[in-house]
Amino acid sequence: SFGMTAGTVLPLISGVPVYFYPSPLHYRIVPELIYGSNATIIFGTDTFLAGYARTAHPYDFRSVRYCFAGAEPVKAATRTTYMEKFGLRILEGYGVTEAAPVIAINTPMYNKSGSVGKIMPGMEYRLDPVPGVDEGGRLFVRGPNVMAGYLRAENPGVIEPVKDGWHDTGDVVTVDDAGFISIRGRAKRFAKIGGEMISLAAVEALAGELWKGSPAAVATVPDARKGEKLILITEASGATRADFLAFAKAHGAMDLMVPAEVRVVPKVPVLGSGKLDFAGVTRMVRGEEELKVKAA
């Protein structure tokens, strides 16, 4: 929906020329196209922006005034690279398809690094408590941009409305006193280990800082002693659990955030959008666990 609204409808009604390119994965070609078209606004994900930064000449982005990112958390290393190499501040936003899709955005005037900005004008939000999560809550949103409801394949032509206009994003967030929203993770992407709720996204963020430039993802598997355990997969050659443990301790992370295992894999599953394929990650990890059990 972002491609439709921000990438197509908004430029049409505003008279802004748009350059479409079929694949954001062509990291060498896209910066050249930005240079050649004198683009002033670019959209991307952390994965794509980091890829462009590795190949782009600093002058390739000379015309860019605004760089917007969403779909996945923007790493501190990516922000630093864009500021130092291109003189650009990445403006991170957040949205869901059901909200057409933007919910919050950082702006040049109101920007907080590490947050996804303030909620859009005309929208309301509420945070519902999540058991085991002390800070923040599950985000519900309501506003003129929120869908009327879902159309289900099993009930054609009938709209299943959202309750009282409130859409459950499924995300656990915090909101500071100034109104900036920070995403803690998907409600479904929390593991209960030893009675504590652990954000898988927070573990992945630590791995991203430790092994910069190497994709990493976490999945859970059942554990007889603690209920669940974390398995981290990464493309970083030579990555070990000992390295992660030392890094986590140095950065004040709790011991429960340290994965039970760190596995180096040839390729971490990703979607066409560049986001991690969490279902694929889970299948990979649990498939390996099943093979271990059979071998034993």
**Structural domain count, the chain:** 2
CB count in 10 Å sphere of residue 237? 8
Domain containing residue 246: CATH number? 3.30.300.30
Rounded to 10°, the helix 46-55/29-37 angle is 80
Domain containing residue 58: CATH number? 3.40.50.12820
- The residue range of the domain holding 279 is 194-295
Nearest residue to 111 via CA among 94, 91, 95: 91
Q: Is residue 245 part of a domain?
A: yes
* C-alpha 36: how far from chain center: 29
Q: Is residue 184 part of a domain?
A: no
Which of 33, 60, 88 is at the close of a domain? Answer: 88
How many residues would you count in the chain? 296
Q: Is residue 289 part of a domain?
A: yes
Which of 64, 88, 112 is at the close of a domain? Answer: 88
Q: Give this prediction's pTM.
A: 0.78
Which of 57, 88, 119 is at the close of a domain? Answer: 88
pLDDT tens for the chain, 296 residues: list them: 888 999 999 999 999 999 999 889 899 999 999 999 999 999 999 989 999 999 999 999 999 999 999 988 898 899 999 999 999 999 999 999 999 999 999 999 999 999 999 999 999 999 999 887 888 899 999 999 999 999 988 889 999 999 999 999 999 999 999 999 999 888 888 888 877 888 898 999 999 999 998 999 999 998 878 888 999 999 999 999 999 999 999 999 989 999 999 999 999 998 877 788 988 999 999 888 777 767 76
